[in-house]
Amino acid sequence: MSAKTVIDAEGLILGRMASIVAKRLLAGESIELVNAQGVVVSGRKVNIVDEHKEFISVGGHRKGPIHFRMPNAIVRRTIRGMLPYRKPTGRDAYKRLTVHIGVPEELAGVEKQSLTEAHVSRLNHRYVTVGEVAEQIGWKKRGV
Task: Mention every residue, 6+ apart, whose C-beta is less than 8 A from residue 65.
Answer: 58, 59
pLDDT one-digit tens code per residue, 17-28: 999 999 999 999
Q: Find the range with the poorest average confidence among 1-5, 31-35, 63-67, 99-103.
A: 1-5
Task: Mention every residue, 6+ apart, whose C-beta is less than 8 A from residue 43.
Answer: 125, 126, 127, 128
pLDDT one-digit tens code per residue, 95-121: 999 999 999 999 999 999 999 999 999
* pLDDT value, residue 110: 93
3-state DSSP helix/strand/coil % of the chain, to nearest 5: 45, 15, 40
Q: Is the peptide bond before 65 cis (omega within 30 degrees of 0)?
A: yes
Nearest Cα to 74, choosing from 16, 11, 137? Answer: 137
What domains lie within the chain, and their CATH numbers? 5-136 (3.90.1180.10)
Are the CB atoms for 17 and 81 separated by under 8 Å?
A: no
With 60 as the cut, is the pLDDT of residue 56 above it?
Answer: yes
What is the pTM (predicted TM-score) of this model?
A: 0.91
* pLDDT value, residue 143: 63
With 80 as the cut, is the pLDDT of residue 122 above it?
Answer: yes
